[in-house]
DNA sequence: AATGAATGAGACTTCATTCAT
DNA sequence: GATGAATGAAGTCTCATTCAT
């Protein structure tokens, strides 16, 4: 299942006009992905929706995958931006603040573009795109790094495992919460945040009772 | 994204030969899905791999989606089987035993056919098939039901939310653990089980410290 | 310039209907090649002219090259048929009879389908198809074989070189003669035959004068 | 197969820079033709390889054919140059010298740019370009002219036919010899020359034996 | 003169599905 | 029941050519 298909953009747009074209193409891609579904994503349709000729599309993207990849990379880069913005807050912060900060970052990353996030996530797996895996690795590394600074206060021994459990628990719960609601506005973000903080803090700080 | 395509098998195979045909078709579908990827799944290819004519395939399945659906339903039915088998153990069991039992069920469901599970999960979302959602609903209902019998011993108030958090945390962590390892055997299942039990029990039974 | 594109027919037609389809496709290919030119040869056009759907074409031929190759192989096989039919006459025949026979074979091979022959020749080179090279090799081998049986009567020492010169001289002259005339009938075949026999016999049997 | 597309260069380059541009374009064309194959010859690619914008290419050449034509005309003009340079030697020369001279001219023309010669030859036919036909006509005329001055010493009656046979025999044998060898350097030019001289002289001067 | 962005016809090819045998 | 030939819509992608800057 290893592909040798090129996925990188063909050439960077130099003129302003070209930049607008690329922008229109990516927006159209996102639009179709979110509102019409992957199965409707075809290069022809993207070009049509973008109001651009199919030839122009192929000037900048070698194939359909490259469109999705470009979109994914933009998205992940925004996610990583949020992560690194808050990363400094964590260092040396008391446990509760650090956890609050982390949960909020995850909630925020999912609010950048919730429906696009969902679709891109699936595509990343289907197309074997690593950008998202990079994000996860980054998050795990950061969490594990923090846990190591608090090793003495923490119950779990295996910090790698602990980071793995935490990152994916939080990620999954948030993700499902968003998918569950058709209307993103309806999600009880505050309660979700509270609950996730409880989940994490108890896992890290309490001995198993009983 | 809502389809009106029929997805149910056309007619049940009555003769033994027919049963074998259907079996071969589904096996071929699974094989292609797992070993070659969704993008290679075509009805013609399935028929070829199954050693059956394309006409025969359409005798039993009205379209391509029906293949995936049938496979998914089989799989989910196995998962539900495991769940209900253990369901009785849970009722009235002490908290620790109940949690152990639940975590084991989830681990077992993921071991039925790990790679197929992964692919089907993605397809279920892409094709908007509800079978998997059914499974999740079932699991949530069961967990929530159990929590209600223990309401007094439990810290979280909102049991629906608690069930949601638990089910998806466990599900996600197990799922990622399986995907992570190319060599499935290499996963430290016992440690994973221990860690998940700690996560759940502390969440349910400990007050947030600090 | 080495290609890995498949060129062999996809599957052999089993039913009579399918055989007719394949036949129609190849005839259409030949027709387009001869009457409209290579640049007009497209799979769509072939299907259209053959009165067959494009899908049917691709059931039997993996791509455009395969069409040309199939046609070429049929043609070359006819040419080789003529060659081997006369091959026996040559063995042990007196020089003049053998030469007569050879020149006639070449003339005949070019009359099987003169215009198609011309186009296929070019395509064989462009597409790097070896079928025609096989024919030439065969012809050279046969001629050289005969020359060896007459080594004592023959002036040239290097029989490989002599065969090379003979085969390509005769081939080229005949080929150009056919191309030259738009009206194929107008070619003075008998005089051409006489002249080529003279060319060969003098080359083989006379010492260079002067 | 008759085209009405203009094939002549659009305007002659007046400045030195423009001359360099045209030169680069033609060199790129030749390069692609020889090293990548006709199917890879696209105007965009030529421009790219030439390090010139596609717009500039169309400033000097009205279409793709014009590129090939320009190249062909340059090549044929070199060939004609060789021919006319030796033409004077032939007049009144003794038969053997004349033949030597002619064979050498043909060998030389094929050594100008053997691989390009090969490709251009094919293209000339495909695109129905007459430049090469002009060369052949010229060569035939010259040879026939010489033969007429020697009519009394010569065996063949029909001098037009004799010239036809000679020109195409020599041409074909030399051409195939070059194609046959991957490495042009490996061709036994001297033996080829000797053999072709023998072929011609015997044909012209010896009665058919036997 | 030169640039390169944009165009779109059209080529190739796949694949879900139907239907005659 | 089964077969496999046939279909054609639809998708991917290229490339000759134009034109605004």
Write down the pLDDT at residue A138. 93
Write down the pLDDT at residue A16. 82
The answer to whether A137 contacts chain B (CB < 8 Å) is no
Q: What are phi and psi of C140, to 5 degrees?
A: -60, -45
Testing the interface with D: which of C120, C188, C198 to mutate, by most D Cβ within 10 A?
A: C198
Give the confidence band of D11 by pLDDT, cuts at 50, 70, 90.
Answer: low
pLDDT in tens, B63-83: 999 999 999 999 999 999 999
More confident: B90 or B143: B143
pLDDT at position A3 over 50:
no
The two three-digit tokens of residue B186, written as one number = 């290499």
pLDDT in tens, C119-135: 999 999 888 888 999 99
pLDDT in tens, D126-185: 888 999 999 999 999 999 999 999 999 999 999 999 999 999 999 999 999 988 876 666
Contact check, Cβ <8 Å, D176/C164? yes
Contact check, Cβ <8 Å, C158/D191? yes
What whole-number distance in Å separates Cα of residue D40 and Cα of residue C152?
51
pLDDT at position D46 over 70:
yes
Write down the pLDDT at residue B62. 95
Surface of B (4-63) touching A: CB under 8 A? 36-39
pLDDT at position D4 over 60:
no
Hey, CA dihedral for D146, D148, D152, D157, is it positive or negative? positive
Query: Angle between the B95-111 and B64-90 helix axes, to the nearest 10 degrees?
Result: 160
Contact check, Cβ <8 Å, B172/A169? yes
In percent, the amount of chain A with pLDDT more than 70 equals 96
Chain E footprint positions (protein CB, under 7 Å): 1-20
Say whether A102 sits in a helix, a strand or coil: helix
How far is the alpha carbon of A39 from chain B, nearest alpha carbon, in Å? 8
Write down the pLDDT at residue B182. 62
The 3-state DSSP composition of chain B as helix, strand, coil percent (nearest 5) reads 75, 0, 25
Tell me, in Å, how far CA of B19 is from C1' of F1? Answer: 12
pLDDT in tens, A148-162: 999 999 999 999 999
Give the confidence band of C12 by pLDDT, cuts at 50, 70, 90.
Answer: confident
In percent, the amount of chain B with pLDDT more than 90 equals 78
Q: pLDDT averaged over chain A?
A: 91
Write down the pLDDT at residue C1. 39
CB C105 within 8 A of CB C139: no
Closest CA to B23 of B55, B56, B50: B50
The answer to whether C177 contacts chain D (CB < 8 Å) is yes
> Which residues touch B198 (CB under 8 Å, ≥6 apart)?
A155, A156, A203, A208
pLDDT mean over A55-71? 96
Within 7 Å: CB of D61 and strand E?
no
Q: Which residue is nearest to nucleotide E21 (CA to C1')?
A: C15
pLDDT at position B185 over 60:
no
Contact check, Cβ <8 Å, D171/C168? no
Q: Which domains does chain C have, with CATH numbers?
A: 16-62 (1.10.10.60), 72-205 (1.10.357.10)
Q: Euclidean distance between the first and final Cα of chain C, in Å?
A: 48
Q: How many CA atoms lie within 13 A of B105 on its CB side?
A: 25
Contact check, Cβ <8 Å, C205/D201? no
Give the confidence band of C16 by pLDDT, cuts at 50, 70, 90.
Answer: confident
Write down the pLDDT at residue A14. 67
Cβ < 7 Å from strand E, A residues 38-97 = 52-56, 58-59
pLDDT in tens, C133-164: 999 999 999 999 999 999 999 999 999 999 99
What whole-number distance in Å separates Cα of residue C178 and Cα of residue B29?
57
pLDDT at position A50 over 80:
yes
Write down the pLDDT at residue D5. 65
Q: State yes or no: chains C and B have 3 or more CB pairs below 8 A.
A: no
Closest CA to C30 of C22, C9, C107, C13: C22
Write down the pLDDT at residue A90. 83
More confident: A180 or B42: B42
Chain F footprint positions (protein CB, under 7 Å): 1-20
The two three-digit tokens of residue B153, written as one number = 């011993």
Pick the residue from chain C with its C-alpha nearest to D201: C208
Give the confidence band of D32 by pLDDT, cuts at 50, 70, 90.
Answer: very high
């Amino acid at each position: 299942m290893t592909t040798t298909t090129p996925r990188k953009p063909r050439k960077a747009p130099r003129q302003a006009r070209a930049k607008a074209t690329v922008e229109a193409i990516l927006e159209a891609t996102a639009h179709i992905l979110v509102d019409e579904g992957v199965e409707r994503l075809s290069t022809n349709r993207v070009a049509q929706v973008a109001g651009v000729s199919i030839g122009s599309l192929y000037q900048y993207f070698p194939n359909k995958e490259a469109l999705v990849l470009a979109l994914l990379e933009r998205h992940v880069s925004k996610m990583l931006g949020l992560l690194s913005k808050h990363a400094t807050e964590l260092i040396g912060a008391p446990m509760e603040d650090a956890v609050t900060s982390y949960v909020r970052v995850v909630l925020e990353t999912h609010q950048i573009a919730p429906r696009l996030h969902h679709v891109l996530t699936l595509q990343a797996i289907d197309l074997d795109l690593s950008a998202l895996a990079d994000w996860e690795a980054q998050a795990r590394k950061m969490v594990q790094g923090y846990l190591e600074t608090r090793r003495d206060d923490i119950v779990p021994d295996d910090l790698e495992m602990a980071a793995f459990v935490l990152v994916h628990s939080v990620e999954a719960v948030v993700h499902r919460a968003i998918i569950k609601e058709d209307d993103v506005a309806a999600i009880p973000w505050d309660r979700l945040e509270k609950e996730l903080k409880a989940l994490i803090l108890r896992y890290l700080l309490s001995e198993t009772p009983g």
